[in-house]
Amino acid sequence: MLFSSVSFLYYYLPILLIVYFIVPNRYKNAVLLIFSLFFYFFGESVYISILLISTVADYLHGLGIEAYRGTKVAKAILVSSVLINLGLLMLFKYSAFFVQNINALFHAQLPLLGLTLPLGISFYTFQTMSYTIDVYRGEVKAQRNFIDFAAYVTMFPQLVAGPIVRYCDIEPQLRADNRHNSGAAGAGRFDFDGFAWGVGRFMAGLGKKVILANSLGELSKLLYASAEPSVLLYWTAMAAFSLQIYFDFSGYSDMAVGLGRMLGFSFLENFNYPFIADSLTEFWRRWHISLGGWFRDYVYIPLGGSRGGLILRLRNILCVWMLTGFWHGACWNYVLWGLYFGVLLMLEKLFVGRALSRAPKLLRHFYTLLLLSFSFVIFGTEELPLLGMRLFGMFGFSAQGGALPLFNEFTFYHLKSSAWLLLLCVVLATPLPMKGYQALQGLCGRYRLSAVLLSAAELVLMLLLLIVCTAYIVDSSFNPFLYFRF
């Protein structure tokens, strides 16, 4: 089930909210669990058993680690948990990749298992692994209530595409009495402002996905499929895809954060205007923040982090980025993408970073966007020959070895017709709209305009956005979020 679907917006979500706020606090997590399992079953009926196996296994492993804390038995239980989680991930996500490459390399004929990728397995695997690791480290206590733990693992807002919500970040919120939006049926209070904020955040994410990301995706596919390539065509297609994946994934994260707040949970932010970064290091502090934090805390730091000298530090960076690339998909372009960033980030730390710090901000920003441009082409092109053609095309070389025109009539026509979309998306990818909204709030306060008027205007805008998004959804074909395949 997609957040951007009629069935979710007009049936699933309203029914969930009504039931959730009617029942007493002690039943809220059970309601959340039931609805979350239904949400997952609706989109992945075949592999819901894998989600349940992972949930039960890590619940039991957490209890075992707690019971034998400080002993070798606890460490053995932790190893068992990690092996089960990674084993499931390797089996379903990477087995075909390894078999195909072994067959190609050694001229073998190993059979493919024919397994498809379970929805969200990359995200909930990392969540449950972080839980058992944190229990072993003593950073959290094992959850003894299975309903509460299962509600955390299967929580539908972030289940299939993140952000990666760690147990330690929301453990207090799993007790319904601690959630502001507990409602009148329990001891908690209903936080109307928080609920309204969640609705607004959800609607912003919905608009990002349905109106912007889907339109950008159509433009990118159209340009890349052209039989009349040009240099400008390749750069425009790259820009459209880059913005598409940003609005698609950040839109999903916005919807997840908004839905969480509507239910009384506060999830950490996953994006912070990454395209305004003036170095690749800063970009990765702003893009997919939950994944970067996970690899930092559970891979980079355990490997030694920045301790142990320059060689070990560079090794750790390279290991993290190879794994980051491979996490995104069982294909060589993702490995190449991870190595690309690993090498560039190492160079930034060794040489480029010092030079950048003395360069004008505009030059630093140009440097970052230029290198990001090639990374998005690598990320979005799984076929290596096609990847080479697109990268060479950006520099004016055709697949036949000749030179490409700078632009042609086909490129000019589509660039002119989509200029408004690209320009709008560029502006919306910056903090300017938020600063404008905050300035409007300040003006209302300065001239003593009623906050009620501003709230009423926001409500009208959200209703109009819902109507427009619904029209787009009804008129479009099935268009899932890009990160569903990861």
Residue 432: CA count within 13 A, CB half-sphere = 9
pLDDT digits (tens, 9 = 90+) for 302-359: 998 888 788 888 899 999 999 999 999 889 999 999 999 999 999 998 888 788 888 8
The DSSP bridge partners found for residue 397 are: 403
The model carries a pTM of 0.93
Nearest to 99 by CA among 91, 110, 115: 110
- Beta bridge partners, 403, equal 397
Exactly one of 61, 180, 328, 414 is catalytic; which is it? Answer: 328
Query: Which one, of 244, 219, 245, lies nearest residue 233 by Cα?
Result: 219
pLDDT digits over 365-391, tens only?
A: 999 999 999 999 999 999 999 999 999
Helices (H), 300-383: 301-303, 310-328, 332-347, 353-358, 361-379
Has 328 been annotated as catalytic? Answer: yes
How far apart are alpha carbons 383 and 394 in whole angstroms?
Answer: 17
Rounded distance between C-alpha atoms, residue 233 and residue 312, angstroms? 42
For residue range 414-449, list pLDDT tens digits in order: 888 899 999 999 999 999 999 888 887 777 766 655
Cα–Cα distances in Å, from 265 out to 25, 86, 93, 170, 391? Answer: 14, 28, 30, 7, 43
* pLDDT value of position 240: 96
266 and 422 Cβ atoms separated by less than 8 Å: no
- Is 1 within 8 Å of 39 (Cβ atoms)? yes
pLDDT at 185: 43
Beta strands in 106-205 (DSSP E): none
